[in-house]
């Protein structure tokens, strides 16, 4: 089955800096890659997703890139703000909706 | 539109007991997935149901089971509880329009299970 690895497990940045989180996946049939943000005590919420027919997607300060050949995808957050502090999860799934998540990255943005 | 709901929100059980958790998806969503979340372990996939059938299964022992009803509501059951089953159990629903597109999974608030 699919195996998703996520790095780093913790990331601390200064407000205004950029943050990058990287994930790799094992199943070449995976074609959907969402990213979720989970604040303390809350449920995970989708922040951006990318499909395998696209190499990059941007939404304001958030962007995701996908390299299908290397089987890795990354989340980029620019101009970080304290409210970006949370745990971020990457995930991958095939057409069968069998979503597999990475272990998460705890992002801390210091004011 | 109401979001995904889960009941109960909190549950305390003792080892050896069994537990049933419930998840009501967003109206119109036919796929329900279950996850176990423990500190440092991320979201571990349990299983996914679609049209009352288990379509996908993660690597959990047979003590973990589930089902889905005709109204898409889903339940998961854990028998012979162990201390290590203490976790937040999240369910997520999606529309599942078919193999071409994928839809966002919307998560419920979770059920926090404590096994003593």
| DSSP E strand boundaries for B2-63 | 5-7, 10-13, 19-24, 31-38, 42-50, 53-57
Nearest residue of A to residue B38 by CA position? Answer: A103
The answer to whether residue B97 scores a pLDDT higher than 70 is no
pLDDT tens-digit map of A83-99? 999 999 999 988 777 88
B94 token code pair = 């999606």
pLDDT at residue B101 in the model: 63
Cβ neighbours of residue A58 closer than 8 Å, sequence gap 6 or more: none
pLDDT at residue B79 in the model: 95
Rounded CA separation A79/A7 (Å): 20
B60 touches chain A (CB under 8 A): no
A95 touches chain B (CB under 8 A): yes
A29 touches chain B (CB under 8 A): no
**What is the separation of C-alpha B81 from the centre of its chain, rounded to a whole number of angstroms?**
16
Angle, CA B89 vertex, CA A21 and CA B60 arms, to 5°: 85
- The minimum CA-CA distance between B43 and chain A, rounded to whole Å, is 6
**Residue of higher predicted confidence among A32 and A22:** A22
Mean pLDDT on A24-37: 93
């Amino acid at each position: 089955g699919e195996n998703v690895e996520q790095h780093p497990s913790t990331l601390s940045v200064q407000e205004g800096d950029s943050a990058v989180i990287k994930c790799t996946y094992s199943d070449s049939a995976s074609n959907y890659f969402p990213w979720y943000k989970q604040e303390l005590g809350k449920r995970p919420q989708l922040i951006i997703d990318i499909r395998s027919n696209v190499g990059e997607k941007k939404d304001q300060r958030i962007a995701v890139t996908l390299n299908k050949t290397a089987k890795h995808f990354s989340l980029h957050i620019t101009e970080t703000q304290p409210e970006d502090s949370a745990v971020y999860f990457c995930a991958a799934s095939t057409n069968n909706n069998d979503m597999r998540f990475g272990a998460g990255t705890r992002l801390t943005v210091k004011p | 539109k109401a979001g995904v709901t889960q009941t109960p929100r909190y549950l305390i059980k003792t080892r050896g007991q069994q537990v049933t958790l419930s998840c009501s998806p967003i109206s119109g969503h036919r796929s329900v997935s279950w996850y176990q979340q423990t500190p440092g372990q991320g979201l571990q996939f349990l299983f996914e149901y679609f049209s009352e059938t288990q379509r996908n299964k993660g690597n959990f022992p047979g003590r973990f089971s589930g089902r889905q009803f005709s109204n898409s509501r889903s339940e998961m059951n854990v028998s012979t509880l162990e201390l290590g089953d203490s976790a937040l159990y999240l369910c997520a629903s999606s529309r599942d329009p078919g193999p071409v597109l994928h839809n966002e999974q919307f998560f419920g608030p979770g059920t926090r299970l404590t096994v003593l």
